[in-house]
Amino acid sequence: VDVAVIGLGLIGGSLLRALAAGGHRVTGYDADEATRDQARDRAPAEGFSVADSVAEAAIRAELVVLAVPLTVLDDVLGELAGFDGLITDVTSVKRPVLELAGKHGFRRYVGGHPMAGKETSGFAASEAGLFDGCAWVLCLEPHDTDLDDWLTLAELFTKMGARIVPVTAAEHDRAVAEVSHVPHLFAAVLAGSLLDSPLDATLAAGSFRDGTRVAATRAELIVAMSGGNRLEVGNALTRMIGELETMRDQLESDPDQLLPYLRAAGGVRRNWPQVPGEPARIPAVAETLLELGRAGGWITAVAPNRDHVVGIRPETDRNSS
């Protein structure tokens, strides 16, 4: 596949390098000249090209990967006007991007979200192996997504070692609000305790260190991801604030009332990450793939004739213990 990667930060840069390492013809572009220069320094050794505009990068591409922030996606999609190949993206929210792609008339858009990241960012932090073993959401809208396009991307990314998770954009946005966006807000609130009390910083230990690690993420990035998914983040916050209020009431009346919830939450945490079950053949049919995703499963390979995929479900009943 002939690929263009627009945006060469941590994810885009890693993708550029991984695709080149996989033998694909790939061209990158970044709006920042210094980033393009950084990438060009690596280009001869790693076998990719760097273009000077979105249009130049996309001119002979069959696939364009948009690895730019949500805030500039509208503009970049505008610069792609006339492109009739496959488009995917890597932003952490999927319904808003699906709507943007529709607004620009791109019908061959398949939303993506690799669940890979580090505290560091930028091309300098990128690496070809970033996606090995990572969960990579590929959105499948039952009546809109072209299954062949979806399978093309699933094949490309499973070959980098990613575990492809088939879900709808709406299912994705709810889940990442809970497991990624709200955790950043919780971390900030916990870290905020240090603002008024130097003593707190001295007494803080392991639970504080881990519970606040992602509070050190750039504030603009936290705002971009939670703001981009504000509806689902708001819903998740409301639910979790309710849990905290219940805990406060239980603590006041009888702390032992906390035990059942703490045991259940501790049980699912101890069983995470899930133990993968045995690989199984799964028909390459949209509803079957979505059912796999809802059950916590993923895809590790696409059959050459595309009539089935190799899927894995988590082995344990995580709700036990």
69 binds a second copy (CB under 8 A): no
Sites for a second copy among residues 86-115 (CB under 8 A)? 115
318 binds a second copy (CB under 8 A): yes
Sites for a second copy among residues 12-41 (CB under 8 A)? none
125 binds a second copy (CB under 8 A): no
Member of 31, 125, 204, 301 binding a second copy (CB under 8 A): 204
Member of 22, 47, 69, 117 binding a second copy (CB under 8 A): 117
Sites for a second copy among residues 151-190 (CB under 8 A)? 163, 165, 167, 171-172, 174-176, 178-180, 182-190
280 binds a second copy (CB under 8 A): no
Q: How far is the CB of 51 from a second copy (least distance, A)?
A: 31
CA distance 243 to 15: 39
Segment near a second copy (CB under 8 A); pick from 103-111, 138-146, 226-234, 303-311:
226-234
Member of 191, 289, 299, 309 binding a second copy (CB under 8 A): 191
**Which residues sit opposite 282 in a β-bridge?**
309
Report the candidate in 131, 16, 133 with the shortest Cα–Cα distance to residue 63: 16
Sites for a second copy among residues 286-305 (CB under 8 A)? 293-298
Member of 31, 125, 240, 303 binding a second copy (CB under 8 A): 240
Q: Toward a second copy, which CB reaches closer, 115 or 301?
A: 115
What are the angstrom distances between the C-alpha of 299 and each of 29, 45, 162, 174? 30, 32, 9, 21
120 binds a second copy (CB under 8 A): no
132 binds a second copy (CB under 8 A): no
Member of 34, 72, 259, 280 binding a second copy (CB under 8 A): 259
Segment near a second copy (CB under 8 A); pick from 104-112, 124-132, 149-157, 213-221:
213-221
Member of 59, 72, 81, 264 binding a second copy (CB under 8 A): 264
Q: Toward a second copy, which CB reaches closer, 122 or 314?
A: 314
Q: How far is the CB of 225 from a second copy (least distance, A)?
A: 10
Q: Toward a second copy, which CB reaches closer, 30 or 232?
A: 232
- Residue 37 CB contacts under 8 Å (≥ 6 apart), including other chains: none
